[in-house]
Structure 1
Amino acid sequence: MVSVPGPRLTRPHPLPGAVGLSHLSAYDWEAADGVCGGSPHLHLVCTEAYVVTAGRGAVQTLSPDGYRDIPLGPGSVSWFTPGTVHRMVQGGGLRVTVLMENSGLPEAGDSVFTFPPEVLADPEAYAAAATLPPGTGTETEDAARRRRDLAVQGYLVLREALAAGDDGPYREFQRAAAGLVRDKVSGWRKLWRSGASAAAERTGAQLDALADGDPAYLAGATAYETAPTRLGGYGMCGRRDEYALPGTTPPADAPRTEGN
């Protein structure tokens, strides 16, 4: 009989490239402009990708390119770079797999809502508006809707100005967002070094070993599996299924301010 060894009890590696992973079902709450969808926001250092697995909708973006409304349908992929304001729009049963660069940084505060300027100018007011109570009950849902509505309020001003050829409010929002997160950068750097940077360095070491004709590192080959550890949480864009992957998500009972 061939003996099959059990799973290794080593610390799991992150996903390829140390990306973050979640699944989203877009909110169907109607906003002030009659559109159903999530909370507009940007990321400061992370590129984000949507892989549509079901339903239809759109992602609205604000960037130096202006305002765009990008259709989302089954099999489509859309991604946006740091500084791009994005708003997921529900068109009917929209479900998206989200791939996020730099595992851990979005949950550590890399994302900033498009709240009105007076909220962005006050870190305590911003934190109060952005933070959700723990859990998935009615209190959390109500707070998530208030947060979404406040973000849409600021977003509509930015979009109107950008459509009129005035990028001043959009640029000022970017500056305010950068100011809000400045004190978090040292913590982000640690997450980056242990996640995305470490993954790239590991690949470099493997290439060096292969170039030397030494594949000994392959003796550590193994496989991992996981399942969602939090279902239906209230994220920025919709109900969010999360995975407790290395360095990617905070404890499920932590106050919810970040993460799609």
Structure 2
Amino acid sequence: MNDFPLPGGIGVSHLRAYDWAAEDGVCGGSPHVHLACTEAYVVTGGRGAVQTLSGDGYAETPLSAGVIAWFAPGTVHRMVQDDGLRVTVLMQNSGLPEAGDAVFTFPPDVLADPAAYAEAAALPKTDHAARQRRDLAVRGYLPLREALRDGDPEPLRAFHRAAVALVAPKVAEWIPRWQAGALRAAELTGAHLKALADGDGSHLDRSGLRVATPSNPDGYGMCGRRTEYDIPLDQEGLQ
């Protein structure tokens, strides 16, 4: 029986938002952006908010249990902690964010230096390191937010340009991940629909169940303590 991904080739994780106060007095995570992936928050408990910077300007959207919020590529987002906020994250294109699709809002001089960026963005192993990474992202984020509040989108556009330049050399490595995940899941649905239209249900013989347990039950994510899962891709290809 083939391995198969979660529906749509998505990634999934659970987050408990950081409760450390940043320099603006706000508790929460590291502002960042995704360049190719849509992300969704399914709020499972507590209260908080998500701050976003986008073509629509600056917004702060309340989060509480039962709310689902999602944002397109290019939307800078910052998870804000009020009281025990817990979120299940659904991420388009499983594997791409881990491969570098997520870019922190570090100050421009860090973004312009790939080596400095890689050092600053490295996966932390302690609260102190996670807080330092978060604080550096907030330092670059606050001027973007203030400019948007004043009606000036150019600093956000400049950040987008810097983020694109930073990740462009990595994109060739992302394509096979996307092909084996989200693209293959969509193509497999197309193959199933064609087979069903032809009266062929042979793919149903390859049915089955998969179970994933946390591969990292209490790691450091961008926005908070993160429970991660390793979800298999369909390594066998279309049948």
Q: Distance in 1 between matches of 2:232 and 2:164?
A: 26
Q: CA deviation at 1:233?
A: 0.4
Which amino acid is 2:37 matched to? C
SS at structure 2 position matched to 1:93? strand
Q: CA deviation at 1:12?
A: 2.3
Is 2:210 the counterpart of 1:228?
no
Which residue of 1 is the match for residue 231 of structure 2? Answer: 245
Is 2:176 the counterpart of 1:190?
yes
Q: CA deviation at 1:142?
A: 1.1
RMSD: 0.9
CA deviation vs aligned residue, 1:190-216 (integer Å, no higher than 9, x gap): 100000000000000001101111111
> Structure 1: which 5+ runs fail to align?
1-9, 248-260
Which residue of 1 is the match for residue 118 of structure 2? Answer: 127
Q: CA deviation at 1:235?
A: 0.5
Give the one of 178, 187, 210 matched to 2:164.
178
Give the one of 66, 72, 84 matched to 2:57.
66
Q: Distance in 2 between matches of 1:151 and 1:129?
A: 9
- What does 1:131-170 correspond to in 2, within 5 Å? 131-133=122-124, 135=125, 140-170=126-156
Q: Distance in 2 between matches of 1:232 and 1:141?
A: 12
Is 2:1 the counterpart of 1:27?
no
Instruction: Label 1:212 to 1:11 Cα distance change in 2 as closer, same or farther (>3 A).
Output: closer
Q: Distance in 1 between matches of 2:183 and 2:114?
A: 30
Q: CA deviation at 1:11?
A: 4.5
Q: Distance in 2 between matches of 1:196 and 1:181?
A: 20
Which residue of 2 is the match for residue 203 of structure 1? Answer: 189
Which amino acid is 2:117 matched to? Y
Give the one of 176, 182, 205 matched to 1:219.
205
SS at structure 2 position matched to 1:71? strand
Q: Distance in 1 between matches of 2:64 and 2:73?
A: 23
Q: CA deviation at 1:132?
A: 2.7
2:2·2:206 contact (CA, 8 Å) conserved in 1? no
Is 2:66 the counterpart of 1:78?
no
Q: Distance in 2 between matches of 1:226 and 1:158?
A: 39
SS at structure 2 position matched to 1:132? coil
Which amino acid is 1:171 matched to? R
